[in-house]
C-alpha cells in the first residue's frame, strides 16, 4: 500500500489536515506532491466549517528538504528567450496551496508541537490561529543555507510579528520556544505539550459553533471571547461539583 | 550635523538633530550614505539631539532622507536614547529595527495618527498583529518597556551599554550571511514596506519567489 504523507480527515464540521511522515514530518518533494493533491482533491471540495493542521507524532514539521528542492528546481527550470524564467510547478503549487489556506474564509488552526522549522513554520504562519506547546521549537533556518524562506515566510512573518522582529528572525534563523513565540505574538496560545492538540480542537470547535460571520482579521477578538467562555465553563463545572459534594 | 564611520562591515551614521538642522544637510547625509557605505552589510543610525524640544524642525527638512531610508537596500537599525519625538521619531520609524535604552520614551503625534491613514499603515507594519493592542490616544506616549511589548523595538538595553550592545546585535544579524542573501531578504521586506498587505499580497509573494529562485541555485546545501 502506498503511504500518503498528507491525510485529510473529516469529523462533524471540522477537517483535519495531517502531516503524516513521522518522525520528523519532513516536507520532501513526495510530501509536497501529496500535499498539493490532497489540497486539490479533498480540501477544496470538502464542506467543512474549520480546518485543523497538525503533525502526526511528536513534531509538526522539520521543514523542506532544501537539497532535494534545489535539484528539483534546477531540473524543472525553463528559461525563456525573453529572459523570463518559468517557475517550477511543484514549488508554485505548494506556495499556492499555502496561500489558499491563508485566504480561506473559515478558521484554520495549527497545533504546533515539537519541531516547527522552515516550510513547516511557513505553513503554520498561513494558518489563522497558532496554538503551540510551550516547549515547541520554531525557526526559519533557511538563511543559514544561503536562501530565504520562500514559501510565504517573508510575507506572513512581518504581518504577524511586525517588520523589525521579522527581519531579525529571518536573518538570524534563531530558534524560539513556544513561550518565547507567544511573547512576540508569533503564536496565539501556548499550552502544556500534552494538551496542545486538544486545545487547538477546542478553539476550532468554539469558533465553528459560536462565530457567526468569521473574519481572519478578527481572530484575536474571538480568542478573547473564547477565553472568557472557557473561564465561565470552568466556573460552572466547579459550581456543579460543589453541589454534588 | 552628522558623523559617519565603518566598522566590520557595519556602517555607523550618527545624526545630531538640532533646531538649526537644514534640508541640505539631510540631502548631504543621503549622498554620503550612498558614497561611503557602498560595501557595508547593515547600517546603524544613532539618533542624537541637542535639545529635547525639536518640534521646530519641519518634516519637509528630513523628507528626502526618510524616503531614502524607507527604500534602503540593506537592513537599517535605529539606536534611540531618551525622548524620541518629532523628526527623530519619524527617522526611527523608517528604520527596519529599533533598539533603545531602558529610559527611552516615544512620543507620537495624536493628530498625525488620527488623520493619516498612511501613518497608521506604517505603524501597523511595524507592530504586526500587536497593532490591535495599540490604544489610540493612550499610547501617544510609550515607555521602552511598552514599545518592546508591542514589537515597536526589538531590544532594550542599559543606557551605559547601549552602543556596544547595538553593535553586537548588528554583528549577530550579518554573521555568516552572504551579502546576496541579506540583499534578497531586505528586498522582500522593502516590498512589504511599500505595498499594502491586503490588496497587494500576490505582488509580495511574486517578489519572494523571484528572490528565492535566484538564491537557491547558488546555495551551499
Instruction: Point out the residue among A148, A159, A220 whose CB comes nearest to the CB of B211.
Output: A148
| pLDDT 10s digits, B179-202 | 999 999 999 999 999 987 767 889
Answer yes or no: are the C-beta atoms of B221 and A141 closer than 8 Å: no
Torsion (CA) B184, B187, B188, B190 in degrees, nearest 10: 160
Rounded distance between C-alpha atoms, residue B86 and residue B58, angstroms: 9
The residue with cell 520556544 is: A177
**What are the φ/ψ torsions at residue B85 (nearest 5 degrees)?**
-145, 175
What one-character-per-residue DSSP string does chain A give?
-PPPSEEEEEETTEEEEEE--TTTTEE-HHHHHHHHHHIIIIITT---SEEEEEESSS-SB-EE-HHHHHHHHHHH-EE-TTSPEEPPHHHHHHHHHHHHHHH-SS-EEEEE-SEEETHHHHHHHHSSEEEEETT-EEE-GGGGGT---TTTHHHHHHHHH-HHHHHHHHHH---EEHHHHHHTTSSSEEE-TTTHHHHHHHHHHHHHHH-SS--GGGHHHHHHHHHHHHHHHHHHHHHHHHHH-
Supply the pLDDT for residue A245. Answer: 64
What is the rounded CA–CA span in Å between residue B106 and residue B81?
10
Diameter of chain A measured on Cα atoms: 82
Chain B hits for A87, Cβ within 8 Å? 209, 213
Indicate whether B20 pLDDT > 90: no
CA dist B131 and B114 (Å) reads 14
* Chain A interface disruption, residue of B129, B150, B174, most A CBs within 10 A: B129
Cβ of B154 within 8 Å of Cβ of A95? The answer is no
Q: What is the ipTM of this complex?
A: 0.93
Cα A198 from Cα A191, distance rounded (Å): 10
Nearest-Cα distance to chain A for B42, in Å, is 11
pLDDT for position A80? 54
Tell me the CA distances in angstroms from B149 to A137, A162, A181, B129, B146, one per residue in order: 21, 12, 12, 12, 5
In this structure, are residues B106 and B134 in contact, taking their beta carbons and an 8 Å threshold? no
Predicted confidence at residue A148, as pLDDT, reads 94
Q: What is the pLDDT of residues B66-122, one digit of tens each?
A: 889 999 999 999 999 988 888 888 899 999 999 999 999 998 877 776 677 888 889
How many other CB atoms are found less than 10 A from the CB of residue B156?
A: 21
CA pair distance A181, A190, nearest whole angstrom: 9
Nearest by Cα to B9 from B184, B178, B219: B178
CB contact under 8 A, A158 and B128: yes
**Contact predicate A155/B208, CB 8 Å:** yes
- DSSP state, residue B139: G
**Amino acid A91: pLDDT:** 86
Smallest Cβ–Cβ distance between A146 and the set B130, B208, B219 belongs to B219
Q: Please say if the pLDDT value at position B207 is more than 90.
A: yes
Residue corresponding to grid cell 535605529: B78
Give the closest of B75, B181, B197 to A143, CB-based: B181
Closest to A77 measured CA to CA, from B215, B188, B181, B217: B217
Q: DSSP characters for B41-77?
A: SEEEEEEEES-S--TTS-HHHHHHHHHHHHT-SS-EE
Among B127, B193, B220, whose Cβ lies nearest the Cβ of A146?
A: B220
The whole-number pLDDT of residue B30 equals 85
Average model confidence (pLDDT) across chain B: 87
B25-29, B159-163, B174-178: which range is least confident on average? B25-29
Quote the CA–CA distance of A96 and A84 in Å, as a whole number: 20
pLDDT of residue B200: 83
Instruction: Give the C-alpha distances (Å, rounded to integers) separating A18 from A61, A106, A109, B75.
Output: 10, 18, 12, 37
Beta-bridge mates of residue A139: A117
Q: Which parts of chain A sit beneath pLDDT 50?
A: none
pLDDT tens, B106-135?
988 777 766 778 888 899 999 999 998 887
Closest residue of chain B to A165, computed from CA coordinates: B154
pLDDT above 70 covers a percentage of chain B that reads 90
And the C-alpha cell for A216? 481572519
DSSP string, B103-131: T-EEE--HHHHHH-HHHHHHHHHHHGGGG
C-alpha cell at B32: 554620503
- Cα–Cα distance between A186 and B92 in angstroms, integer? 23
Amino acid at each position: 500500500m502506498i503511504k500518503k504523507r498528507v491525510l485529510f480527515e473529516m469529523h462533524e464540521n471540522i477537517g483535519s489536515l495531517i502531516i503524516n511522515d513521522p518522525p520528523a514530518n519532513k516536507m520532501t518533494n513526495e510530501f509536497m506532491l501529496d500535499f498539493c493533491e490532497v489540497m486539490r482533491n479533498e480540501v477544496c471540495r470538502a464542506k467543512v466549517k474549520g480546518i485543523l493542521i497538525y503533525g502526526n507524532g511528536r513534531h509538526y514539521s522539520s521543514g523542506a528538504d532544501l537539497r532535494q528542492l534545489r535539484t528539483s528546481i534546477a531540473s524543472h527550470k525553463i528559461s525563456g528567450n525573453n529572459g523570463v524564467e518559468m517557475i517550477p510547478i511543484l514549488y508554485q503549487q505548494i506556495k499556492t496551496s499555502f496561500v489558499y489556506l491563508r485566504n480561506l474564509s473559515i478558521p484554520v488552526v495549527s497545533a504546533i508541537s515539537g519541531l516547527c522549522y522552515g516550510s513547516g513554520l511557513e505553513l503554520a504562519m498561513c494558518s489563522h490561529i497558532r496554538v503551540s506547546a510551550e516547549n515547541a521549537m520554531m525557526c526559519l533556518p533557511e538563511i543559514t543555507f544561503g536562501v530565504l524562506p520562500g514559501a510565504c515566510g517573508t510575507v506572513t512573518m512581518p504581518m504577524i510579528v511586525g517588520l523589525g522582529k521579522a527581519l531579525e528572525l529571518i536573518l538570524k534563523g534563531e530558534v524560539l520556544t513556544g513561550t518565547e513565540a507567544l511573547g512576540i505574538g508569533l503564536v496565539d496560545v501556548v499550552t502544556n505539550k500534552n494538551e496542545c492538540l486538544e486545545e487547538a480542537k477546542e478553539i476550532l470547535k468554539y469558533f465553528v459553533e459560536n462565530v457567526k460571520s468569521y473574519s481572519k482579521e478578527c481572530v484575536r477578538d474571538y480568542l478573547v471571547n473564547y477565553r472568557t467562555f472557557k473561564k465561565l465553563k470552568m466556573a460552572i463545572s466547579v459550581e456543579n461539583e460543589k453541589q454534588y459534594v | 550635523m552628522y558623523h559617519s564611520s565603518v566598522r566590520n562591515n557595519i556602517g555607523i551614521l550618527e545624526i545630531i538633530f538640532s533646531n538649526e538642522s537644514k534640508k541640505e544637510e539631510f540631502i548631504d547625509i543621503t549622498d554620503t550614505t550612498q558614497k561611503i557605505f557602498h560595501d557595508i552589510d547593515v547600517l546603524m543610525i544613532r539618533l542624537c539631539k541637542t535639545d529635547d524640544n525639536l518640534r521646530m524642525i519641519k518634516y519637509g527638512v528630513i523628507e528626502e532622507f526618510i524616503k531614502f531610508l524607507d527604500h534602503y537596500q540593506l537592513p537599517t537599525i535605529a539606536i534611540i536614547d531618551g525622548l524620541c519625538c518629532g523628526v527623530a521619531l519619524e527617522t526611527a520609524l523608517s528604520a527596519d529595527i529599533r533598539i533603545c535604552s531602558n529610559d527611552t520614551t516615544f512620543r507620537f503625534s495624536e493628530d498625525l495618527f488620527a488623520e493619516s491613514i498612511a501613518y497608521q499603515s506604517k505603524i501597523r507594519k511595524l507592530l504586526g498583529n500587536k497593532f490591535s493592542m495599540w490604544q489610540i490616544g493612550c499610547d501617544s506616549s510609550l515607555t521602552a518597556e511598552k514599545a518592546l511589548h508591542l514589537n515597536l523595538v526589538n531590544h532594550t538595553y542599559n543606557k551605559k551599554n547601549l552602543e556596544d550592545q547595538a553593535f553586537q546585535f548588528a554583528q549577530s544579524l550579518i554573521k555568516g550571511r552572504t551579502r546576496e542573501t541579506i540583499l534578497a531578504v531586505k528586498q522582500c521586506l522593502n516590498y512589504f514596506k511599500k505595498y499594502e498587505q491586503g490588496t497587494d499580497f500576490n505582488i509580495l509573494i511574486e517578489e519572494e519567489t523571484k528572490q528565492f529562485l535566484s538564491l537557491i541555485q547558488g546555495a551551499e546545501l
